Structure 1
Amino acid sequence: MDQAKVLKYLISIEKLAEEILNDKHEIMLLDKRRNQNREALRDISKACQTKCWVTVGSVLIKHKLSDTKTLLEADQKQLNIDINKLRSNLKVKVNDLRDLEMQPPIPGSMLVPLSDKETAGLSRNGLFSS
């Protein structure tokens, strides 16, 4: 193996490792935001007022409570989608990195739960009890 191939190999490993670390950091930030939204939704459900103050960037806006709740719930759904997408891509990237490092994939890392349809089919045939 010549130096150019070794350098290219090391660069590809470092680049993929950097992507993995960035994805993990992004998941942490999104999860922190999701927790803040959850706290806000809980506070809104306890509120007795009809309006509340909402920060949009660096601006404070007085907004109807019901509209704010709808916005937060929509944001929660989008955050869940983004986090799940990052997590599933992270599994693939980790296995790709392990392939580059000539290590076997992490056992069980690509497992996915049975869908409701699959569980129902197994239950009908007596192969699964819930």
Structure 2
Amino acid sequence: MEDQGKVLKYLVSVEKLAEEIISDKREIVMLDKRRNQNREALRDLTKNEQKKCWVTVGSVLVKHNLEDAKNLLEADQKQINIDINKLRSNLKIKVNNLRDLEMQPPVPGLMLVPMSQRETEYFSKSGVF
């Protein structure tokens, strides 16, 4: 009876973590779509020669100053990028935790981080690159 309880707790924890991973992946895809829509809107606003433009706020259309609309979209882009990066870094940890629960080795190279600008400059000056 105790073994069944342990197995059940194990399966519940694996399924819960797997659902979190799938949910995070869906959220990343949705944020990426929103980021692309913002990018399209910013591109369209740069081509626009008018002083005002229409902006949707929820389900309401509002006529807004063009520069303010650009600033709002750029701020939204920055926030979306931050959210996507947070989700991706947390996703790596969750994937490794899931693999630990499944008693599998961690994904090789999953926790790699890119070199900083300073490190890249050092290597390029030393002739390695």
TM-score with structure 1 setting the length: 0.93
5+ long unaligned stretches in structure 2: none
| Residue matched to 2:35 | 34
Q: Does 1:100 align with 2:101?
A: yes
Counterpart of 2:48, as a letter, is A
* Structure 1 unaligned blocks of 5 or more: none
What secondary structure does 2:90 align onto? helix
- What is the DSSP-based 3-state SS (H/G/I as helix, E as strand, rest coil) of the residue aligned with 2:88? helix
State the distance in 2 between where 1:73 and 1:102 align: 44
Superimposed CA distance per residue, residues 20-53 of structure 1 (whole angstroms, 9 cap, x where no aligned partner): 0000010011001000000000000011111000
Q: In structure 1, what is the Cα distance between the partners aligned to 2:108 and 2:96?
A: 10
Question: 2:103 matched to 1:128?
Answer: no
State the aligned residue count: 128
The residue that corresponds to 1:51 in the other structure is: 52
1:1-130 alignment runs, 5 A limit: 2-124=3-125, 126=126, 128-129=128-129
- Residue identity opposite 1:128 in structure 2: V
Partner secondary structure for residue 111 of structure 2:
coil
- 8 A Cα contact 1:119 1:128, kept in partner: no
What are the superposed Cα offsets for residues 1-32 of structure 1, whole Å, 9 maximum, x if unpaired? 71111111101100000000000010011001
Deviation, structure 1 residue 127: 5.4
Q: Is the 8 A contact 1:13 1:97 kept in 2?
A: yes
Show structure 1 runs of 4+ deviating over 6 A: none
Q: 1:45, 1:3 → 2: CA distance?
A: 63
Task: Say which SS state the counterpart of residue 50 (structure 2) adopts.
Answer: coil
Provide the C-alpha distance between the structure 2 equivalents of 1:4 and 1:91, rounded to a whole number of angstroms: 29
Query: C-alpha separation between the residues in 2 aligned to 1:84 and 1:8?
Result: 31
What TM-score do you get using the length of structure 2 for normalisation?
A: 0.94
